[in-house]
Structure 1
Amino acid sequence: MLTARKVLWNASRLLEKVVVPRSTQVSCISTGPQQQHGTFYELRTYCIHPHLNAAFLRLTNEKIHLRTAHSELLGYWSVEYGGLNQVFHIWKYDSFSQRAGVRAALAQDPSWIEEYISKAMPMLSSQDNQVTYLVPWSKILRPPKEGGVYELVSFQMCPGGPAVWGAAFQAAVSAHAHTGYAWPVGVFHNEFGPLNQVHVLWWYEGADQRAAIRHKAHQDPRVVAAVRESVSYLASQHNKLMFPTPFSPLK
């Protein structure tokens, strides 16, 4: 009995001396700061019936002002590659209560219902939304000029959260951004939707310029090293190349 107690005492002393690595103590992409001040971004993806794609975009172009009268639209894009007959848009809210108020007001807005929703909904085959926060080390950066293309890359990271993969992911994004290979518009971390999912919205001058830059970046040892570390935590990823619509605030 005394021997067993001595073993347990020695084990407890050893545990007291264990130093937890700093990377496990600090969450590099914690959404805490964003949750405290409330601002979040809703990412919406609509799939359109193929034969109604042009009609949907035309109607939205004419009536989007009815929607933006209620809350801020960050950007609205038509997906060119990575999802046919899709549109993707991002809406900014200061809080969940603000969003609830916006949805309630829209439900009582006869112009929105009669002139847009009643016509647009039959054109859609599906809708999807995700609630995200900007990661603490990211902010919305408008492109240096209008025009160009946007790439949305969605990363499904392994379970465990930012405390596990946050530092490696940030390093991979920074390796592209700080070397001038791509312009990061924003980095978003899911709060509702698939967990452990992060979205990076990039801007390029054009599709051919993107292809050339990507080829060059993949030969840069700084980028290769950072990406190699990050992908060890990666489960899957999906990207879309998108063109901003005429009514998109982000051009």
Structure 2
Amino acid sequence: MLGSSSASLRVFLRRAGAASIIRVPPSLHRVSSSFATGPRQDVGTVYELRTYDIIPSKPNEFLEVVSKSINVRLAHSEMIGFWTVELGAMNKAFHIWKYDNFAHRAAVREAISNDKEWQEKLSAIRLLLHKQDMEIAYLVPWCKLETPPKPGVYELVTYQLKPGGPALWGKSFKAAIDAHVSKGYGKLIGVFHTEYGLLNTVNVLWWYENADSRATGRHLAHEDARVVAAVRESVQFLESQRNMLLIPAPFSPLK
């Protein structure tokens, strides 16, 4: 817009002549726009979402090794939860770490790189991995991290949304989540909007008492007119969607 406005103004000045008095409208004095794509949490807390692809036939060994090692890593920063994937994928582990801000994360990364005991244990863990993936995310402004009422299972739903951010799809996405929460079809644990990684990605973490209660809630939601209407409104911004049923590890803070 700035380029086309400036070009039009130059043409107008040439046609008007040097002797003419030109008053430039205030709107052309400065052309600017906000690059914000929607509201964000006021706090600086960031969450690191890690997904590990485990070598086939090694998931049990992986979990055993991590169980014996994780306390060394927990001495450096807070882990929100650690799960293995039961349905929706195979040979995967998913975990979430919390940091006060990016400086805190950088300090922790430096500390663990200098922790010889952890580096030795990490070497054993890496031998059991095929691939690692990491995203940095914020909780969306209208969500706070919740805890479940008792041990159960979790569902991670990953939405890839159209470019534009919450300014484009935030309102309708929230309405769809709220419609599920208001009727108790699932216990919402957290909604994470990716800052580093595949952008316009939102990871929604739900808790259920068991896989069957999740199936029942899903069935009821599909017959709920309010939920159906909210989903129809939000799906116009959806590129893709994937879900996984997660089982908390014995050492996971979220059970």
- What interval of TM-score do these two structures reach, taking the shorter chain for normalisation? 0.7 to 0.9
- Count residues in correspondence: 225
- Answering whether residue 149 of structure 2 is matched by residue 140 of structure 1, we say no
CA distance in 2: counterparts of 1:125 and 1:26, whole angstroms: 37
SS of aligned partner of 2:170 = helix
2:110 maps to which of 104, 127, 148: 104
SS of aligned partner of 1:50 = coil
- Answering whether residue 39 of structure 2 is matched by residue 30 of structure 1, we say yes
1:201 maps to which of 197, 200, 205: 205
- Answering whether residue 103 of structure 2 is matched by residue 94 of structure 1, we say no
Give the drift of 1:83.
1.5
Give the drift of 1:26.
9.0
Give the letter aligned to residue 140 of structure 2: V
Is residue 66–residue 111 contact of structure 1 (8 Å, CA) maintained in 2?
yes
- Answering whether residue 242 of structure 2 is matched by residue 233 of structure 1, we say no
What TM-score results when the alignment is normalised by the length of structure 2?
0.85
Superposed structure 1 runs of 4+ greater than 2 Å apart: 24-27
Instruction: Please show how residues 101-180 of structure 1 align to structure 2 within 5 Å.
Output: 101-114=107-120, 116-146=121-151, 148-180=152-184
Give the drift of 1:30.
2.3
SS of aligned partner of 1:51 = coil
Unaligned residue ranges in structure 2 (runs of 5+):
1-11, 13-24, 28-33
Q: Residue in 2 aligned with 1:18?
A: none
Give the letter aligned to residue 159 of structure 1: P
Give the drift of 1:71.
0.3
CA distance in 2: counterparts of 1:170 and 1:158, whole angstroms: 15
Which deviations, in whole Å up to 9, do the C-alpha atoms of 1:157-216 show, x marking residues without a partner?
111111110000000000001111110000010100111111110000110111111001
Give the letter aligned to residue 254 of structure 2: L
What TM-score results when the alignment is normalised by the length of structure 1?
0.86
2:58 maps to which of 31, 35, 52: 52
Q: Residue in 2 aligned with 1:9?
A: none
SS of aligned partner of 1:243 = strand
- Answering whether residue 224 of structure 2 is matched by residue 220 of structure 1, we say yes
Kindly report the root-mean-square deviation, in angstroms, between the aligned alpha carbons of the 2 structures.
Answer: 1.9
Unaligned residue ranges in structure 1 (runs of 5+):
6-12, 16-23
Greater Rg, structure 1 or structure 2?
2
CA distance in 1: counterparts of 2:162 and 2:59, whole angstroms: 35
Give the drift of 1:75.
0.2
Which deviates more, 84-93 or 48-57? 48-57
2:215 maps to which of 186, 196, 211: 211
Instruction: Please show how residues 10-89 of structure 1 align to structure 2 within 5 Å.
Output: 30-31=39-40, 33-34=41-42, 37-89=43-95
CA distance in 1: counterparts of 2:165 and 2:145, whole angstroms: 23
Give the letter aligned to residue 63 of structure 1: S
Give the letter aligned to residue 122 of structure 1: L
